[in-house]
Amino acid sequence: MNKKIALIYGDGIGPDIVKAAVKVLERIAEKYRHKFTFCDAPMGGNAIDEYGDPLPKKSVDVCLASDSVLLGAVGGKKWDNLSGSKRPEAGLLGIRKALKLYANIRPAKLFPQVADRSPLRKDIVENGFDMVIVRELTGGIYFGERGIRQGKLGREAYDTECYSEIEIERIARVAFEIARKRNKKITSIDKANVLESSRLWRYAIHEVAQDYPDVTVNDMFVDNAAMQLVKDPSQFDVIVTSNMFGDILSDLASALTGSIGLLPSASLNDTTLGLYEPIHGSAPDLGENVANPIATILSAAMMLRYSFDMTEEAADVEKAVDKVLCDNRTQDLWSEGKRLCSTSEITDLIIKNI
Ligand code: IPM
Ligand code: MG
């Protein structure tokens, strides 16, 4: 198959980890006789420096003309004092919106090889966990009405959480479809005891649930969910939640695995054009060739599976990662007795195992 992949290197460790994933994709292309062509789409801080815009229109066009997009991470101290719409993060939010990527899929599973790195107690980790967080990505407070105004007590700022039934129903369908292919169990996370938007969320989720009688749905308040994730993550299978709750809980879930450097994500719309990125940030202080590229490599595997329907190729990458993780670690996961690897060393080991 011929596929065109847009690359958003981003800032900080972004270029290192994207280069690593590209090498892995090239190995897959060679082994399975595919042809992948890569095309740059600058975004984030580097795009601000070069073009004065965190998301140049040309980059959006490159992404729209591709079969999928691979993204490193954006942001850094250098751009921290810019106003909201001029920050690197505005590029990320802009590309999600421009490509209508409303469904963010964030798997968080414990790799038994690195279970000793989990901050959880041993008796909790022993049960393992394997969940998929389905986060709504183009609505809610991230994109609601906002502003700064003069209030009774002086200057005040506001952001609004607003969800339409249609937005909730379409993310619900994505979650139910995923649940059907897994253990047929969904936890919908909201704050329906306080928020009107959460009450509509809950109603709409249960409307969609009627079309999936084979899937069980359980509602949970977000504060309780945070506690349950720490006390017993093994109780979760598919989680569906709003943009902001999903942002917060997916960081929490990823930390339970031992390193945020392991977790990939896919952002999808109703076409096969998806955006794939690690869930971690640009770690600008980390230095060169030391970052863990596995989250990005696994994001590339998700791209193979979700956008290109290359199930065998995706599994090949995942198996290689599993194998390499047994004895080799980047600094974030290193422990006594394991080989300490740089970004390129661990990437080469993964490639050797494909
Ligand atoms: C994420 C990140 C982004 C988000 C930031 C960088 C805008 O935290 O992808 O989880 O909040 O969505
Ligand atoms: Mg986040």
Residue 311 has a CB neighbour count (10 Å cut-off) of 10
Catalytic residue among 116, 223, 232, 309: 223
Give, rounded to a whole angstrom, the gap between the first and last alpha carbons of the chain: 18
In whole numbers, what is the pLDDT of the chain averaged over residues?
96
Ligand 1 atom with minimal separation from the 96 CA: 12
The reply to whether 149 falls in a domain is: yes
Residue whose CA is closest, atom 4 of ligand 1?
Answer: 247
Residue 127's Cα: distance from chain center in Å? Answer: 24
* Structural domains in the chain (count): 2
The reply to whether 79 falls in a domain is: yes
Tell me the two tokens of residue 245: 């709750």
pLDDT in tens, 44-82: 999 999 999 999 999 999 999 999 999 999 999 999 999
- What does the pLDDT read at residue 178? 97
Residue 130: which domain range? 119-256
- The verdict on the CB of residue 92 being under 6 Å from ligand 1 is yes
- The verdict on the CB of residue 247 being under 6 Å from ligand 1 is yes
pLDDT in tens, 179-223: 999 999 999 999 999 999 999 999 999 999 999 999 999 999 999
Which ligand lies nearest to the CA atom of residue 142 in the structure? 1
- The verdict on the CB of residue 277 being under 6 Å from ligand 1 is no
> Which pTM does this prediction carry?
0.95
Mean pLDDT of 89-117: 95
Which among 240, 256, 272 is the end of a domain?
A: 256
- What does the pLDDT read at residue 180? 97
Confidence of residue 316 (pLDDT cuts 50, 70, 90): very high
The reply to whether 110 falls in a domain is: no
Burial of 116 (0-12, 13-18, 19+ CB in 10 A): exposed
Decide if 332 is catalytic.
Answer: no
Residues 134 and 250 both lie in one domain: yes
The reply to whether 5 falls in a domain is: yes
The reply to whether 18 falls in a domain is: yes
CATH classification of the domain holding 169: 3.40.718.10
Ligand 1 atom with minimal separation from the 93 CA: 7
Angle at 216 between CA 189 and CA 170, to 5 degrees: 60
Identity of the residue numbered 159: D
Residues 283 and 243 both lie in one domain: no
Confidence of residue 319 (pLDDT cuts 50, 70, 90): very high
**Residues 1, 28: contact at Cβ < 8 Å?**
no
Tell me the two tokens of residue 262: 């392991």
The reply to whether 112 falls in a domain is: no
- What does the pLDDT read at residue 257? 92
Residues 231 and 296 both lie in one domain: no
Residues 247 and 128 both lie in one domain: yes
Report the DSSP pairing between strands 103-109 and 264-268.
antiparallel
279 alpha carbon to ligand 1 midpoint, in Å?
8
Portion of the chain with pLDDT greater than 70, in percent = 100
Which among 200, 221, 256 is the end of a domain?
A: 256
Decide if 40 is catalytic.
Answer: no
Tell me the two tokens of residue 6: 């847009």
Which among 213, 230, 256 is the end of a domain?
A: 256
Q: Which residues, listed in sequence order, are joined to residue 217 by a DSSP beta bridge? A: 186
Mean pLDDT of 110-136: 95
